[in-house]
Amino acid sequence: MVPYFTRAEIEAGALDGRGLVVLYTDDPVDLYFMHVQGSGLVHLDDGTSVRLTYAGKNGHPYTSLARVLVDLGELDAGGIDMDALKAWLRTDLERGRALMRMNQSYTFFSVLPGDEAARGPHGAEGVPLTPGRSLAVDPTYIPLGTPVFVTVPEFAGEDGRPFGRLMIAQDVGSAIRGPQRGDIFFGTGEAAGALAGRTRHAARFHVLMRKR
């Protein structure tokens, strides 16, 4: 596979004039995090909304901006989450743009039609994701569609008890590499995004495989 244009090259106009633009946004930071999440709900000026879903990537490796800032001594590893990272990027937008371009990976989107959009974003398995039940995994180790019981002792669920539930491997992600790395889909909206942004806990996976 030959890598496509980098994030910096695309933002500088490498794809201009090809009729590929889906939407324009007034918030480059939120757009960046939609690239990280792989899908998003965009609110338009006329009051309507459009749901974008993953359509492909440019083939370049993913770079964690949080890790870059920790290594540079800009943020403390113990207190960094999505809100802290967004605040750093927005404090000086030009500085923030330069940092975001250090992640050469770039996600492309397509618009989900109305009936499909109402059911939520699609994962790599091609079906709508279910909040709290869909898990992104590394398919090299866990095939899509596999049931996985996830236990997170240090993370409390909606009932206040330690998180433990059966989930289905339905999605993938550039930063999800290895046999015991996963990303929980919490849903759509600010509350779900904030929860996802501060969830980075040690977990245990029990993968349910078909008995041969």
**Each residue's pLDDT tens digit, 124-159:** 888 888 888 999 999 999 999 999 999 988 777 666
pLDDT at 194: 66
94: its two tokens: 């030009």
pLDDT of residue 119: 77
**Closest to 36 in 3D by CA, of 206, 154, 167, 173:** 173
Model confidence pLDDT, tens digit, residues 152-167: 887 776 667 788 899 9
CA distances (Å), origin 202, targets 60, 68, 163, 170, 199:
27, 21, 11, 20, 10
Q: Domain extents for the chain?
A: 123-212
Residue 74 has pLDDT above 80, yes or no: yes
CATH of 123-212, one of 3.40.47.10, 3.40.50.300, 2.40.40.10, 2.60.40.420: 2.40.40.10
Of 208, 135, 137, nearest to 176 (Cα)? 137
Amino acid identity, residue 182? G
CB 92 within 8 A of CB 102: no
Contact (Cβ atoms closer than 8 angstroms) between residue 155 and residue 199: yes
Average pLDDT, the chain: 87
Residue 206 pLDDT more than 70? yes
Contacts of 206 (CB under 8 A, 6+ apart): 148, 149, 151
pLDDT in tens, 19-69: 999 999 999 999 999 898 888 889 999 999 998 988 888 989 899 998 999
More confident: 126 or 12: 12
pLDDT at residue 116 greater than cutoff 90: no
- Residue 202 has a pLDDT of 82
pLDDT at residue 196, as a whole number: 65
SS3 211: coil
Written in H, E and C, the secondary structure of 115-163 is: HHHCCCCECCCCCECCCCCEEECCCCCCCCCCEEEEEEEEEECCCCCEE
pLDDT (0 to 100) of residue 197: 63
Specify the DSSP element, H or E, that contains 107: strand 107-111
Q: Looking at residue 207, what is its pLDDT?
A: 92
Give me the numbers of helices (H) and strands (E) for the chain, helices first please.
7, 8
**Nearest-angstrom CA–CA distance, 99 and 9:** 14
Confidence of residue 1 (pLDDT cuts 50, 70, 90): low
